[in-house]
Structure 1
Amino acid sequence: MSNGRIITHLLHRIGRRGASLAFIGLLCLVIAASLEFAPAAQRATPGYATLAAIAPLSVWAVAWCATGALCLVQMFVRSDRIAFAVATALLLLYGLVYLLSTFSGENPRGWVGGAVWLAFGGWIALIATWPEAVSVDRLPSAPPTDTTAVVVADAAGVIQSWNPQAATLFGWSTEEAVGRPLTMLMPQRFRDPHSDGLDRVRSTGHSTLAGRIIPLVGLHRDGSEFPMALTVNAWHSDDGIAYTGVIRAVGGSDVDPE
């Protein structure tokens, strides 16, 4: 695999939020190093002296290092809100320290650094609200997207969004489908494993099926079954984990329920 494909695969794996956490994590490690290994002349500057008056610079360095490590670890998992919250809190604390040093007279130009740190903290807080981008038009060997059903559900497996192609595939109109459980789209034998899977994702924050093409059996409104291919993505919304399923009917008479 070429370097370009490796990078593309990695970015697809971690998403925009993960890429942002990678940048934040590396920046935190750089800040930690600048505090721990600052020369004596730099330690005597007003900004560093203000920080040292609150806690030793080595303590600040440990805080930044731990935050950076947390960001770099959580960039690979779906449940990344702790990393964003800790990074935002530390940046806002830094900004407030610089602003207060301006008002106390210890660092007359501390308001400049304070404004920068606060703006950076606000930027990270904004990134934390991003949902993961979900691609519905890159399903390998799939027909054009105007024949692909797309279903969005919340953490409890309740349908939140339903496109016209899904209505055609399953026989339920948008008004009838939205607000009802995903289990209505699957035969009875699949419903308990489906519920167990949702419980597992809610407890771990991670889906092992995300991004994979899964052969399944769908249930039409009239009670007939049909083989289908499902690609599911788990992402974070303001209300918690949500799911987007990209579905297409496939040929064949039998699909292994496992």
Structure 2
Amino acid sequence: MQTAIDFQQLANAIGDAIIISDAGGGITFWNPAAERMFGFTQSEALGNSLDLIIPERLRGRHWDGYHKTMATGETRYGNDVLRVPAVHKDGRSMSIAFTVALLYSPQNELNGIVAVIRDESARFKEDRLLRQRLAELEASARV
């Protein structure tokens, strides 16, 4: 038996950020987890560019890929988890992991992208400290 799923209830309840952007990269959906994660309220995010959360140094690369995806209808990241830096509203750097999916109109025209995002800043920091400690131990073992 199939039950209808209330997307808004799901998006509001889920712990991961859900961000939807239109063909031009404007934010059209921003769930409560995105607010908690990035610090921008829904009203601050909606209608704005994804540049809100993309580090300035990565914007050119991001937009090249975004526009290519919109033009071709293809993404190499459909099933892969992407791990990239992001920026919080207060300016601090974050490490995020996310998946993306392409969204289509009823006429089957590509009209947006949805990203489901998790903040992995703590895990990234822990991994970096472990790698650093391992390098120190390997260096001391060679002496």
Scaled by the length of structure 2, the TM-score of the pair is: 0.72
1:172 aligned counterpart, secondary structure: coil
Verify the 8 A CA contact 2:102 2:110 in the aligned structure 1.
no
1:223 aligned counterpart, secondary structure: coil
Residue 195 of structure 1 deviates from its aligned partner by: 0.7
Alignment of 1:203-222 (within 5 A): 203-222=71-90
Which of the pair has the greater relative contact order for Cα pairs under 8 Å at 6+ separation? 2
**Runs of 4 or more off by more than 3 Å in structure 1?**
none
For residue 245 of structure 1, what is the aligned residue in structure 2? 115
Residue 252 of structure 1 deviates from its aligned partner by: 1.4
Q: Say whether 1:149 aligns with 2:37.
A: no
Residue 146 of structure 1 deviates from its aligned partner by: 2.7
Alignment of 1:1-258 (within 5 A): 146-238=14-106, 240-250=110-120, 251-253=123-125
Sort the Cα spacing of 1:146 and 1:204 in 2 relative to 1 into closer, same or farther, 3 A. closer
1:147 aligned counterpart, secondary structure: coil
Whichever residue aligns with residue 252 of structure 1, its letter is F
2:59 aligned counterpart, secondary structure: helix
| Superimposed CA distance per residue, residues 210-242 of structure 1 (whole angstroms, 9 cap, x where no aligned partner) | 221000111000000111101111121257321
1:156 aligned counterpart, secondary structure: coil
More helix by share: 1
Percent sequence identity is 29
More strand by share: 2
Number of equivalences: 112
Residue 189 of structure 1 deviates from its aligned partner by: 1.4
Task: Give unpaired runs (5+ residues) of structure 1.
Answer: 1-135, 138-144
